[in-house]
Structure 1
């Protein structure tokens, strides 16, 4: 379930830009990267050395390289945001069976038993100078043929003459992509889970929270509890959790958390309260919500009680 400087989900329409320098039999393709983060990760840095489309040889489209210059990014900076991994690559029109990422190295910084540890692939140059590597991050052979991006129903990538520009959203699920190796070896394993969709079919989920009529929020210690101390949490089908703070954007007493750039699918919505209180909501939590392509979904909650523990 979600990057900000190097690469850049609310309802977004795909902006069809009229671009010059595109031939009659080519279109522009942009690939935007986003991320569903994991709870215990402090950093998840990967180097993507190549991005390419793999076509049907019978159609003569072959392999079309979208990016061959290595780029390194911390995926956790992409939560609820996107960044341009590929920008306006000129691609022959046709049907492509696969979009693939070649990943040459990575490291994760995680909190284990209250201690921060770093796990990296062999001789990974992306580890900052002076940072101690505590263990190995194993990585399957992603540096050769690369990793296939999964589209719904294993769909092909269509680049057609009707599209002046095609924008593909790619979600790199950190929580599902990195995990401890079995057997107590202390190593971590990278088995990336990457999903794709056309940006025009991406979704967003808006979660709202307001206080019920007459509800008084308690004071815990010396701090007055407010709705801004609560978080909405979006949980995807694989169990990855993305927390997002509520804000009163419209100054009307209804607080909102907007999860953007979502690959369509089923989600659970939870509410996290501040330390030192218990609370109830209407409807109860968790609540189910389905994010559908190109549409906004909502989950609206009212606080019915908040008491100090």
Structure 2
């Protein structure tokens, strides 16, 4: 699998248009596209081959308009497991020079893939072809994964309020953050056929104005965690679960912070309102303040926080 190198950078969102500005002359700008994901807990793997990334169309007139037609940002295929990008971001397109202008769409062409899912107490693989090159050697394919139109016209990345993409020649490198929501993009085909279908939910935003949700957990005064079997329950056994507006779920275990506080930090989030839940270890009943689930609203470039305090905990 092609490795993806992580890069930290920023983007500017202004006046309802996503402006991808860059250094260079007056007729070109530079564009970088970064990929992230918030997976669902049903999936063990979600692998896709992205063969082309391009900007399409123009809001200018048809004759001589800059940005008219297709501007290819990437034509070298790359295969990646989307689940490895949870709470992370990786370069899909880096520092590509393109003509300045205003583009209507950013599109991905996906030419193959497979998902490995938990089903009926086991693990099953659904692939676009039994010979799909992204499959590990010796993998048994249990069924078909359909990708309608993904390999032809490509899949449109949705920006907030259907904003156009305007490339200028201003100074600075600007980056698009693309969120490929696995839990909302793959599902069973209708009619009990046993097939899976990819109907991607891919959203774009700016990296500078993406945000994060920091969830903390601590014991309330006088609260003691129970012993289950021979093991003492710890706060590290609890998890935070972030749920986006489309129902995509991302669990994250708490890790020890300072002064007895445990932390789960969800990064690279598109602005919006999220549900934040608290899940305890098996066999533990608990209450918290605030109650769970609760909500967190992520603003542009801002951190939201949810501070849970356990008010009671006992063995079931």
- Establish whether TM, by shorter chain, passes 0.5: yes
- Structure 1 unmatched ranges of 5 or more: none
Shift of 1:24: 3.2
Query: 1:60 Cα deviation (Å)?
Result: 2.5
- What is the distance in 2 between the residues matched to 1:92 and 1:259? 35
Aligned equivalent of 1:145, options 129, 150, 153: 153
- The Cα shift of 1:263 comes to 1.0
Other-structure match for 2:281: 274
Give RMSD over aligned pairs. 2.0
Q: Map of 1:1-309 to 2, 5 A cutoff?
A: 5-8=3-6, 14=10, 22-56=24-58, 58=61, 59-62=65-68, 63-122=70-129, 123-249=131-257, 251-309=258-316
SS at match of 1:200: coil
Seen in structure 2, the aligned counterparts of structure 1 residues 5 and 71 have a Cα distance that, compared at 3 Å, is closer
Q: So what's the TM-score if we normalise by structure 2?
A: 0.91
Q: How many residues align?
A: 301
Stretches of structure 2 lacking an aligned partner (at least 5 in a row): 13-20
d(CA) in 1 for partners of 2:227 and 2:136? Answer: 43
Deviation at 1:247, TM superposition (A): 1.3
Q: CA deviation at 1:176?
A: 0.6
Q: Distance in 1 between matches of 2:28 and 2:235?
A: 51
> What is the TM-score normalised by the length of structure 1?
0.93
1:15-37 deviations in whole A, cap 9, x for unaligned? Answer: 89x987x3332222110000010
3-state SS of 2:236 partner: helix
CA 1:92–1:19 in 2, change beyond 3 Å: closer, same or farther?
A: closer
Conservation of the 8 A alpha-carbon contact between 1:27 and 1:164: no
In structure 1, C-alpha distance between the alignment counterparts of 2:77 and 2:45, rounded to whole Å: 19
CA contact (8 A) 1:228 1:246 kept: yes
- How far apart are the structure 2 equivalents of 1:278 and 1:156? 49
Q: Deviation digits for residues 210-229 of structure 1, max 9, x if unmatched?
A: 11011111111111111111
